Amino acid sequence: MRADAAGRLGHGCPSASAARMAENAALVWSSEARRVGREQDSPSILSALDARLDRMVAYGFALFDTAIGCCGIAWGKRGIASVQLPEASAMATRERLRWRHPDAREGRPPPEVQRAVDGIVTLLRGGASDLSAVAIDVDAVPPFHQRVYEIVRAIPAGTTVSYGDVAKRLGARGLARAVGRALGQNPFAIIVPCHRVLAAGGRTGGFSANGGVATKLRLLAIEGVQRPIRSD
């Protein structure tokens, strides 16, 4: 894909060269981005979440265009470390990845990561794409979260289940809220399709990505979910 005169690719992901030109401004903005990001996270889980994310070692990251905007992906030797849905701007998406993976360098994804990117792009434009075989790095993910993510990865596009359904499949009906918290900390958006999990009674439940529930509903609509969904 060819960059335009502003150094942007496709729908608005800035190229690496444009990013380097803005590096000084980005560094100044970075501290503010961290402050805002921390204010948006739940204080009760923030320290544990930060510690977990800090252990998710990523060697590289890249931004890529999708039908919903500029997304990001980070990777390490064990697989995908995180997927970032669009923030308010491409710069904010980049800074969110840098905050999560401060030692990762922006660059061209290796072939296996590019295949994951291609699958995400296809899915977000309404196409068929199976991401269940994409390798993800769960070394720093708590065991309970890993079990939740494994179950959620098996939910087909175009269908939904409830937090209670996931808890039932875990063999613990009373853990619906714990399932919700685990999905709220999901670093593998789309690959672990937490948007396909709703609250009881068809209510939307929460969604931690930028845009909140509106983004969740948009993702479900792209996948062709037809059932009525009640707004919380």
**Residues belonging to the active site:** 194
- Burial of 103 by CB count in 10 Å (0-12 exposed, 13-18 middle, 19+ buried)? exposed
Q: How far is CA 168 from the centre of its chain?
A: 25
Q: Give me the phi and psi of 63, to 5 degrees please.
A: -100, 150
